[in-house]
Amino acid sequence: MAARPIRVLAIASGGGHWVQLLRLRPAWDGCDVAYATVHADSAADVPGARFFSFRDASRKNKAAFAVVALQLLRIVTAVRPDVVVTTGSAPALLAILYGRLLGARTLWIDSIANSEVMSSSGLRARRIAHQTLTQWPELAADPVPRYWGAVL
Amino acid sequence: MNGAADPAGGPPPQVFASVGSMFAFDRFVRAVDDWAAAHPDVPVLVQIGSGEYVPRAAAFVRMMPPGLYQQRIREARLFVAHAGMGSIIAAIQAGKPLLMMPRRLDLGEHTTDHQFATLAKFGGREGLHSAMDEAALHAAIDALLADTGAPPAPIAPFAGPELIGRVRAFIHGSDQG
């Protein structure tokens, strides 16, 4: 069987989470990448790529978060990623969980905004994702989160 | 410029202000609008997101597509925003001075107080300015329009090669950590 490109789901919420994800694009050059974020307009940032959007929700709003949970399940099962990479926030943790359950390797990169403590989702990601990163060396720990550098 | 909600028409704003794209930030929008009311000769545009406060002096838009958003930052003399990483990265990539006011947890403006930490880390860098409250924001807009100072130092469009390389290795299964 001919090798197929690695399928990557690159997913982030809006604002800074999405902007940070975009700064990592060369990492999946040559892969079969699908993007997912909260604003449909953001498709313009990744022309030509497979693109999904989902509702924005913080964990504060349980009903909205339940809707997002279903949307993300649909996205992950549609993409069937080999790898899930995210720069947060909370909804993306569900994509990590679903991806992992479906056999993907999963990478959580905590937002560079979390410079004094990991985000609450990042703390949870340490137990769910295969690898969890912080973007601040002083927050690095053994075994996780690791520090591999920052998007800035 | 009076409170027209059409960001596509009229002169490009000299001051472009944004609450970002995730949560409302009415205290910030009101502060920028109050400044605009006191400076009717300066075109001001505010992206207000889902906020309830609607500007009366500044032009406003709830959200705009990414391309137009980046264009507004480039056209403006000053970019004013919450202390979010999206705003910081957008300002640096556009080479535009940025003035930031942090969201406060105790006022329900965010889920944590991390924007204060963001200001502590980034607020002193060239071209990245901070104002801790509305009065300081007004003073800083005046000062920066009089002298915008140096813009943020330019950066490459992507993260550095070490981080990219390690994420790439993870994707290809050769770096587990």
Q: What is the CATH number of the domain that holds B71?
A: 3.40.50.2000
Q: Is the pLDDT of residue B28 over 60?
A: yes
**pLDDT, position B21:** 85
Cis previous bond, A89, omega within 30:
yes
Residue A24 lies in a domain: yes
The Cα-based distances of B149 to A79, B18, B87 in angstroms read: 47, 21, 18
Tokens, residue A46:
């990744």
The answer to whether A129 and A118 have CB atoms below 8 angstroms apart is no
Q: Is residue B123 part of a domain?
A: yes
The two structure tokens encoding residue B31: 């502060």
| pLDDT at residue B9 greater than cutoff 70 | no
Confidence of residue B152 (pLDDT cuts 50, 70, 90): very high
Tokens of B132: 């801790």
Q: Which domain holds residue A17?
A: 7-147
Q: Is residue B7 part of a domain?
A: no
Give the pLDDT confidence score for residue B8 in this predicted structure: 52
What pLDDT does A60 receive? 72
Please say if the pLDDT value at position B41 is more than 70: yes
Q: Closest CB to B89: pick one of A25, A148, A152.
A: A152
Residue B1 domain-assigned (yes or no): no
DSSP 3-state of B160: coil
Number of folded domains that form chain B: 1
Which residues lie below 8 Å from residue A16, measured CB to CB, with a gap of 6+? Answer: A111, A112, A113, B20, B84, B85, B86, B87, B88, B89
- Window from B1-5, B46-50, B154-158, B166-170 with minimum mean pLDDT: B1-5
What residue spans of B40-94 are helical by DSSP H?
66-75, 85-94
A143: contact with B, CB 8 A cutoff: yes
Residue bearing tokens 């993907």: A104
pLDDT at residue B33 tops 80 = yes
Task: Check pLDDT > 90 for residue B6.
Answer: no
**CB within 8 A of B59, min separation 6: which ones?**
B1, B2, B3, B4, B5, B6, B7, B10, B13, B43, B44, B45, B46
Residue among A28, A130, A149 whose CB faces B163 most closely: A149
- Provide the pLDDT confidence category of residue B5 given band limits of 50, 70 and 90: very low
CB B48 within 8 A of CB B60: yes
Q: Is the pLDDT of residue B131 over 70?
A: yes
- Quote the CA–CA distance of A88 and A73 in Å, as a whole number: 16
What span, in angstroms and rounded, lies between the C-alpha atoms of B168 and A91?
23
In tens digits, chain A (152 residues) has pLDDT values of 568 999 999 999 999 999 999 999 999 999 999 999 999 999 999 999 999 999 987 777 888 889 999 999 999 999 999 999 999 999 999 999 999 999 999 999 999 999 999 999 999 999 999 999 999 999 999 999 999 999 99
Measure in Å the smallest separation between the Cα of A108 and chain B Cα atoms.
10
The two tokens of residue B104 are: 């406060």
The arithmetic mean of pLDDT across residues B56-60, rounded, is: 98
B114 part of a folded domain: yes
Question: Which residue out of B62, B121, B167 would a mutagenesis test of the A interface target, given it has the greatest number of A Cβ atoms within 10 Å?
Answer: B167
Q: Is residue B4 part of a domain?
A: no
Q: Are A14 and B21 in contact (CB < 8 Å)?
A: yes
d(CA A105, CA A8): 10
Measured between CA atoms, how close is A91 to chain B, in angstroms? 13
A31 touches chain B (CB under 8 A): yes
Q: Please give the Cα distance from B106 to B109 (Å, whole number).
A: 8
The per-residue pLDDT for B173 is: 93
Within chain A, how many helices (H) and strands (E) appear?
4, 7
Does pLDDT of B7 surpass 70? no
> Which CATH number does the domain housing residue A121 bear?
3.40.50.2000
Residue A109 lies in a domain: yes
Kindly state the percentage of chain B with pLDDT values over 70: 93
Strand partners, B80: B17, B99
Average pLDDT over residues B79-104: 97
Inter-residue contact B139 to B132 (CB < 8 Å)? no
Angstrom distance (rounded) from CA A99 to CA A142: 24
> Contact A8/B171, CB-based, under 8 Å?
yes
Partner A, chain B 139-158, Cβ-Cβ below 8 Å: 155, 157-158
Whether residue A30 lies inside any domain: the answer is: yes
Indicate whether this complex's ipTM tops 0.90. yes
Domain membership of residue A95 (yes or no) is yes
With contacts defined as CB-CB under 8 Å, which chain B residues touch A43? none
| pLDDT for residue B109 is more than 90 | yes
Chain A residue numbers with beta carbons less than 8 Å from the beta carbon of B173 are: 105
Interface A-B, measured as beta-carbon pairs within 8 A, has a size of: 126
A28, B89: Cβ pair inside 8 Å? no
Q: With an 8 Å Cβ cutoff, are B21 and A39 in contact? A: yes
Contact flag B114-A113 (C-beta cutoff 8 Å):
yes
- Contact between residue A89 and residue A109 where contact means Cβ atoms under 8 Å apart: no
Contact A15 B166 (CB under 8 A): no
- pLDDT value for B174: 83
Q: What was the pLDDT predicted at B119?
A: 97
Give the range of the structural domain holding residue B143, as residue numbers without chain letter.
15-171
Confidence of residue B62 (pLDDT cuts 50, 70, 90): very high
Note whether residue B9 is domain-resident: no
Task: Show residues of chain A in contact with B157, CB under 8 Å.
Answer: 23
